[in-house]
Structure 1
């Protein structure tokens, strides 16, 4: 900041006045200083003593600067002798990083540690060297090098924490890895790499509840591709439904169904529309005699959004009104007369209604459209109960062929 000329003039006049006043004091009152120690005494004027003290102070300061310069020179010389020049160290560090990327961890560790003392960013050397030590199986040195990285880092470095988490994850120390990653999240809550590692470690731990809490962050920060996020979501919610099923197995039937319904209601609306979720939930309800609830849900879902993979499941359910259930499926058949899965479902529902002839027709229609091991085996079972054993055997054999999908080329004994 520049001072106004008036202030500058005032300062100059003050300095001149001070010099004149000091000269006046020296001429009219020189003062007196006596220094005595033992039998020796030194006398001098006050102003001479002042000049002497100032001179000594300047001499001490000058000597200190020379000493520091000498020490720095010695340090630099020693560093040069032991580690080479800074340029050489930088080249060696670059070589070590290339070796690290290429997977030559033994050479990388050596070059990175040799050059760490004489590069501008030694923290990179120590982090890569720590990873190299881990890859070589030396966990003790890896931890020591991470501590060195913390010592030379200017602040609490996120890179150090992520490296530590990466090492812990690779060593399958998942609980420790979670704690490390949570520390990283406090520094950088939206860091994609941190979120990605948390996703992976929760998946390995099968900690579905923690992963569910993390999922909004993963979606918000677009961690992974859209397909990967959708696959993760499916895996998560299917696991939560299975977990609810396991919890329900330790309860009475009424409480078990209530637990399943509670979990289902907590799922996001768009998730409950996915066929895989509906199918998994219906299967769990079947385990605990929840057919009526499952049939109602599945019927409403199929009326809005038809999926072939769910129609077969509809025939396995015993709803509250079996007649109405059969009529509903026959109404669907009007729109899809050649649907093999729907015909199989109608055959099963006909059996539940003890309509044996109709069941037989629907089974045969399903097999005609698309032979399946299930349809053949179930029709064979029905025909055996109706006394048609020869035809029953034929369908059983056809079912076995459908299950194998190809006829074996292995030789068979010739008829006698």
Structure 2
């Protein structure tokens, strides 16, 4: 109210001032424009100037409103694009989850440029393209994903490696993973994917170098890691043995250094592992170095009993078979009812040409545990000792047991 009254008073004062001013002749205003000359009364000129100023102010205000209106319109259009992008992204992700790969690829790729998170769109679209079998589109979308978001090289690289592995492009996946490993040497998932790549390529040497890091960073559960380590070193031992066989083919008495040197490189946990010891000593024996195999088996069995290793011990031949038999009979004191030890003692008795003793050990082993292996040994021994009927009966028992024959009436001989 007070403000309104102030405006009225100000207007009255200005009006009174102008009325008094018009009574006096203040001259005229003359303006020249090239060949044109404009003359007017001072008060008229002043009025025109005021009108020009007012129109200028109004024009500036209009321009500002138009500019603001354009910004509002642009913002409205941009928000509309974002809403459509979010909707199409949602539809694309649903299609991806449903396995509708072509629709997922179309929806996700087309909405990526306007999406809040274009990286997710491009990566998901690459997955859909892979499922469609379009590897060229996969590479293109992954490149766009990398360009869309700074610092996304690790995420894009891991996705690329996963798709390459899934597409059986293992060598390309390995190259991708090695590049990622340079950026982040201890990245758990990169190490896990590297393990998969080496395993698929059967690159046991590189895998053996990776095992320590896999264990250090708990990449796999202990049981899985133990199996992987065992598998890796067993294959390396087999490769070394194959190298020795090739050398022996050219040089009969060739050294077994490739195999024995590799054994020295094994982690201590593997040199104590029962299956690994069995594998190594079997290879040694197969390559002709049964004496070294027997020595290692004897050392292990003194401190760690194993039915599997005692079975192998009965198969290898030492340079002193009589001492080997005596040693095994000492173990019998602590394990009088061990069927595998009895079988091994029977074989060691045969090496010492103690036929009757061997037969007793085989029969005792068979009473403790009926095994086809023991039946075959006893049958073979009986045949060579002239006990053909007993040998045939044992063979028949073995055949019946192996084939699970039912009990049926048979004619009497």
Task: Please report the TM-score for the alignment, with normalisation by the length of structure 2.
Answer: 0.78
Task: Find the counterpart in structure 2 of residue 61 from structure 1.
Answer: none
Q: Structure 2 matches for 1:14-413, cutoff 5 A?
A: 84-252=80-248, 254-404=253-403, 406-407=404-405
Distance 2:222 2:68 in 1: 60
SS at match of 2:280: helix
Instruction: Structure 1: state its 5+ residue gaps.
Output: 1-64
Distance 2:345 2:71 in 1: 92
Per-residue CA deviation, residues 301-356 of structure 1 (Å, 9 max, x unaligned), is 01111011111000001011101100111111111111111100000000000000
Per-residue CA deviation, residues 87-122 of structure 1 (Å, 9 max, x unaligned), is 342243234234334433233222212321211210
Distance 1:316 1:258 in 2: 23
The alignment's C-alpha RMSD in Å is: 2.7
The answer to whether the 8 Å contact 1:249/1:256 transfers is no
SS at match of 1:249: helix
User: What's the offset of the Cα at 1:160?
Assistant: 0.6
Distance 2:67 2:321 in 1: 98
Per-residue CA deviation, residues 228-261 of structure 1 (Å, 9 max, x unaligned), is 1111111111111111111111112543522211
SS at match of 1:270: helix
Distance 2:163 2:306 in 1: 45
Name the CA shift for 1:144/1:67 in 2 (closer, same or farther; >3 Å). farther
Name the CA shift for 1:127/1:389 in 2 (closer, same or farther; >3 Å). same
Structure index of larger Rg: 2
User: What's the offset of the Cα at 1:414?
Assistant: 6.9
Name the CA shift for 1:180/1:70 in 2 (closer, same or farther; >3 Å). farther
The answer to whether the 8 Å contact 1:97/1:128 transfers is yes
User: What's the offset of the Cα at 1:78?
Assistant: 6.4
Task: Find the counterpart in structure 1 of residue 22 from structure 2.
Answer: none
Distance 2:353 2:378 in 1: 14
Name the CA shift for 1:408/1:196 in 2 (closer, same or farther; >3 Å). farther
Per-residue CA deviation, residues 128-160 of structure 1 (Å, 9 max, x unaligned), is 100110011111111111111122121352111
User: What's the offset of the Cα at 1:70?
Assistant: 9.2
Aligned pairs, number: 349
Task: Find the counterpart in structure 2 of residue 20 from structure 1.
Answer: none
Distance 1:354 1:159 in 2: 70
The answer to whether the 8 Å contact 1:131/1:142 transfers is yes
The answer to whether the 8 Å contact 1:212/1:236 transfers is yes
Q: Which runs of 4+ in 1 moved over 6 A?
A: 65-75, 411-416
Instruction: Structure 2: state its 5+ residue gaps.
Output: 1-63
Name the CA shift for 1:68/1:164 in 2 (closer, same or farther; >3 Å). farther
User: What's the offset of the Cα at 1:123?
Assistant: 1.2
User: What's the offset of the Cα at 1:188?
Assistant: 1.9
Task: Please report the TM-score for the alignment, with normalisation by the length of structure 1.
Answer: 0.78
Name the CA shift for 1:414/1:392 in 2 (closer, same or farther; >3 Å). closer
More moved, 248-257 vs 363-372: 248-257
